[in-house]
Amino acid sequence: MKQGDRASLPSVDRLLNSAAGAQLAGRYGRTLLLEAVRGVLAAERTRLASDPGARCPADAVLAAACAARVEALLRPSLRPVFNLSGTVLHTNLGRALLPEAAVAAAVGAMARPVNLEYDVDGAARGERDSHVEAWLTRLTGAAAAVVVNNNAAAVYLALYALARRREVLVSRGELVEIGGAFRIPDIMASAGCKLREVGTTNRTHPQDFVRALGTATGAIMKVHTSNYAVHGYTATVPESELAAIARQHAVPLINDLGSGTLVELEAFGLAHEPTPQEAIANGADVVTFSGDKLLGGPQCGLIVGRADLIEKIRRNPMKRALRLDKIRLAALEAVLRLYARPETLARDLPTLRMLTRSQAEIRTQAAGIMPVVAKAADGLATTRIVDCLSQIGSGALPVDTLPSAGIALTPRGKRRSGAADALAAAFRALPVPVIGRISEGELILDLRCLDDEHEFVFQLQHLASPDGAP
């Protein structure tokens, strides 16, 4: 078999030492460039061997291929996207966005030594959680607090430290699964606790708990059914009543709130979501909740409650394995500080700012950018402004939606199956991927979470049709 122009292919050294090669080595370093040159030449050799008519590319073309290879390798894997999915706290898109004050605090802690576990002023702050504990007790009314990696860790650690090798009573209606990886029965098992289900799926009564209590009981647990709602013929035991039962039998009541906001959301025009302060007031001994859901902070899990129980949790060796790093502690402290001034919280905390944007404001934004979107998408889709419904996400207020607005893109040739998927893929292929949502054959871009509309609009010039044609 005759082979292509293989003999003309430059050697690795010739390409590396060419003018273009030297320039690339300056930009990327010799190690990465060498790897790319070898890869490109090997690919060329294979191509030329299989195609008798193929010509060897010029050195400049080979150098460009090498540069592309290095660029592809160096491109960050974790990168910003536009969340126009309509879900504000989107777990797969990283949940809460930190306020500027928290970003600054985190950056400060990253680059400089900090008094993480060092008592600089004799105020007995030699413990890392002390930087946020005072804020947490002040905001929740609890006596003490610890923080860990996330709420799953908080639940795990509370169970492990307080009820290992004992039974934990949970209502059958609260055996929740959150996003697959977090399931109450599984976390219970891994914490070494024996799950004891009481009551039924739709109705659980005080007597169900009382009958199940015994010498083997280590705790009673209440779980906020954060991502679903049971309607119809239902009954749950009021928290204060459950707390009284727990107290009578001298076992702790652990309340896993999931989202757990630190403010009354009604004050911001949103539906009520249980707060830790409410759970504490209702008699819970230990309350767990997430830092990056409605609270709007960094990923972490907060455990607040009775001083003796929190101390037991703090002293458990697993606390060390689950503890927070200085970066997130700095960010969390900055976020909690914002709560001291609820008057400006809806302005300063991005999560609350997005949740409280009015439909009218979002409609106005949609009208403003509509012409640019329509023009950029012209070859691909027809566009119109639509009213839509956003969701809070991350399990909070599952049945409540927020009136919003956005842009609906109807693919040209809509009947072609997969046309909407192809359109969604084209938006995801933009320099800053745009994540929308598909509904009834259309791509919906919900603008509730669109902060930087200039960057969004500017990059639309790169929008390419799904088959690659401009």
Of the pair 125, 224, the CB lying nearest ligand PLP is at 224
Of the pair 69, 319, the CB lying nearest ligand PLP is at 319
Which sign does the torsion angle of CA 28, 30, 32, 37 carry? positive
Of the pair 377, 397, the CB lying nearest ligand PLP is at 397
CB of 9 to ligand PLP, least distance (A): 53
- Cβ–Cβ contacts within 10 Å for residue 379, how many? 11
Of the pair 237, 322, the CB lying nearest ligand PLP is at 322
Of the pair 275, 410, the CB lying nearest ligand PLP is at 275
Residues that bind ligand PLP (CB under 6 A): 150-152, 155, 176, 178, 182, 223-224, 226, 256, 258-259, 290, 301, 394-395
CB of 91 to ligand PLP, least distance (A): 7
CB of 395 to ligand PLP, least distance (A): 4
DSSP 8-state assignment for residue 76: -
- Amino acid at site 205: H
CB of 137 to ligand PLP, least distance (A): 20
Of the pair 95, 128, the CB lying nearest ligand PLP is at 95
**Rounded Cα gap, residues 109 and 297, in angstroms:** 16
CB of 158 to ligand PLP, least distance (A): 11
CB of 183 to ligand PLP, least distance (A): 10
- Amino acid at site 144: A
Q: Which of 96, 138, 279 is nearest to 288 (CA)?
A: 279
CB of 259 to ligand PLP, least distance (A): 6
- Amino acid at site 179: G
Of the pair 15, 89, the CB lying nearest ligand PLP is at 89
CB of 396 to ligand PLP, least distance (A): 7
Are 310 and 299 in contact, with CB atoms under 8 Å apart?
no
Q: Which residues contact 106 (CB under 8 A, 6 or more apart)?
A: 98, 298, 327, 328, 330, 331, 334
CB of 225 to ligand PLP, least distance (A): 8
- Amino acid at site 40: V
Q: What is the DSSP string of 20-50?
A: HHHHHHHHH-HHHHHHHHHHHHHHHHHHHHH
**Rounded Cα gap, residues 374 and 407, in angstroms:** 9
* Residue indicated by tokens 């309350």: 287
DSSP 8-state assignment for residue 258: E
If DSSP states are collapsed to H, E and C, what string results for 112-127? Answer: CCCCCCCCCCCCCCCC
Of the pair 141, 398, the CB lying nearest ligand PLP is at 398
Residue nearest to ligand PLP (CB): 258
**Rounded Cα gap, residues 203 and 201, in angstroms:** 6
Of the pair 226, 282, the CB lying nearest ligand PLP is at 226
Classify residue 358 as left (phi > 0), alpha (psi -120 to 50) or beta: beta
Distance of CA 430 to the CA centre of its chain: 21
Classify residue 394 as left (phi > 0), alpha (psi -120 to 50) or beta: left
